[in-house]
Amino acid sequence: MRSIIEPFRIKVVEPIRITTQAEREEQLRKAHYNLFLIPAEYVLIDLLTDSGTGAMSSDQWAGIMRGDESYAGARSFYRFYDRMQEITGFEHILPTHQGRASERLLFELIGGPDKVVPNNAHFDTTRANIEHSGAKALDLLTEEGQTPSCDAPFKGNLNIEALRALISEVGAERIPAVFITVTCNNIGGQPVSMENLRQARAVCDEFGLPLFLDACRFAENAYFIKMREPGYEDKSVAEIVREMFDLADGATISAKKDGLVNIGGVLLLRDKTLFQNASNQLILTEGYVTYGGLAGRDLEAMAQGFAEVLHEDYLQYRIRSTAYVGEKLLDAGVSIVRPPGGHAIYIDAAAFCPHIPTTEFPGQGLAIELYRHVGIRSCEIGSIMFEGNAPMELVRLAIPRRVYTQSHMDYTCEGIIEVFENRDRIRGVKIIEQPPALRHFTAKFDLV
C-alpha cells in the first residue's frame, strides 16, 4: 500500500528552537520537575496535549476575518448553531469557552451531594466538576479496557454489568446521568462501539436515566467504528456520528479537540427545562447564549472545524499517523497501551520503569527523562493525575492535529527508544508541594 500522506500543505510555519541538555536540565530544576511549569519556548516537540494545540485551516482563518462580533444573534453564532445541529441533530445548543465550562454548567444543575455519576472513565476536569458539586464520580471500565497489552477493538466500552450493579446498589434516583467518554482518554484514547452505546441506552431507558456523551473526540471514535465494527464499513463517518448523538440525551464537548480550534466548547441538551436553566447559568458566568464566552470569530472557526473533522481523508491520516508512532515504539520493545489510540500513544510507564515503585510515580520519572534527553514534552496519566483512582501508570504522547510531520514523529520515536535503552537511569519523584485538587498542574516535585 502507498503511504498515507498529510492531506494538506503548509502555508505558515512556526519555528521551533533546539535546546541543549544543560538548558533543559536548568528548566527542569526551575519548574520543580513539573512539565506544566516549563515555558513552551523550551520545548522542542510538545506532546503535552492535543487540546487547543491543532493547526487551523485556511478556511478557518478566513472565518476568523468573517467573524461577526455582535453581542446578540451574531451571524457567526447561526453558522455555528446550524453546523452543530446538522452534525448532531440536537436543537438545544450552547457555546461555551471550553469543555470544562460545559461540565460546570451541567453539574451545577444535575450534580449535588448524594448523587453518583458513572462514566467509562471521567477525565480529570469532569471528575473535579462532579466532585465540586458534592456528587461522586465513578469509573466503570471493562477488564480489557484496563489491560494495556490487550488488543481488543473497543477498549473504551462502558462496563454494562457494572452499570446495572451500580443502579441496583445506589438506586436510579441518585444517578442524574450516565456518561460515556468517546474516545476514552484516560485509558489510551480507546474507542467505544456503537453496540456499547446502544446497550447503555437500553439500560438508561429501562431505569429512566439520561445518557450523556463526553464527545470531545467524537469524530475519531466514529472513524474507529467505521474501521472496526461490523456493519459500519460502508457508512459515512457523518452518518455514524449522527447515530452516536441520536442515542444521547446530551453531550459536553471540548471543541479544542475534534472541533479543530484553539478555544471553544459546546453543551448539547434534549431537555428543554434543563436547557433553559443552563442558558441562565451561562449568562450569569460565561456570556450571552449566542456567544458563551467566545468571540464571534471563534464560533466561525468552530463552524468550519466541525465540518473539516468529518473529512474521511483527514481522519484516515489522523488515525494512521498516530498508529505509526505506536507501531515504531512496539517494534523497539516499548510497551504501550494497545492498540494505538486516536489522539495519543500511551506508554506503559510501569513496564518501562520496573525499578520505580508506584509510590515514586514512574510516569512522572519517564516524562522528565524524555524532556531532559530530547526536549519532548509528554504528560503523566497515572497516580499523580488521578491520585487514588489511576487505572494504570501511563505517559501520554498526545498528538496535536495537523501540526507535526512524519519526521518530527520519527525524531520523537528515536528519542524515546534511546531513553528506553538506558531506562535504568530514570529516577522516580517525590511530591514536595501540592494543591488540594487537580494537583498535576501545579505540584512541585524532586527527584528521588
Applying CB under 6 A, the residues found at the interface with ligand F0G are: 49, 51, 98-100, 123, 125-126, 181, 185, 214, 216, 254, 256, 265, 398
98 vs 196 by CB, closer to ligand F0G: 98
Please give the grid coordinates belonging to residue 4: 498515507
293 vs 428 by CB, closer to ligand F0G: 293
Please give the grid coordinates belonging to residue 218: 467524537
34 vs 167 by CB, closer to ligand F0G: 34
CB of 236 to ligand F0G, least distance (A): 24
Distance CA 303, CA 297 (A): 10
Distance CA 249, CA 258 (A): 20
> Which residues, including other chains, have CB under 8 Å from residue 241's CB and lie 6 or more apart?
87, 88, 218, 219, 222, 310
Distance CA 261, CA 253 (A): 12
27 vs 49 by CB, closer to ligand F0G: 49
98 vs 133 by CB, closer to ligand F0G: 98
CB of 263 to ligand F0G, least distance (A): 8
167 vs 398 by CB, closer to ligand F0G: 398
Strands 92-96 and 116-119: unpaired
Dihedral sign computed on CA atoms, order 296, 298, 301, 307: negative
CB of 277 to ligand F0G, least distance (A): 21
Q: Which residue has the cell 438508561?
A: 204
Instruction: Answer whether 259's CB lies under 8 Å from 310's CB.
Output: no
CB of 353 to ligand F0G, least distance (A): 22
CB of 398 to ligand F0G, least distance (A): 6
Beta partners for residue 397, in sequence order: 345
Q: Where are the beta strands (DSSP E) in 324-389?
A: 344-348, 376-377, 379-381
**Backbone φ, ψ for residue 51 (5° rounding):** -100, 110
CB of 101 to ligand F0G, least distance (A): 7
Determine the residue with CB nearest ligand F0G: 99
Distance CA 19, CA 36 (A): 18
CB of 181 to ligand F0G, least distance (A): 5
211 vs 216 by CB, closer to ligand F0G: 216
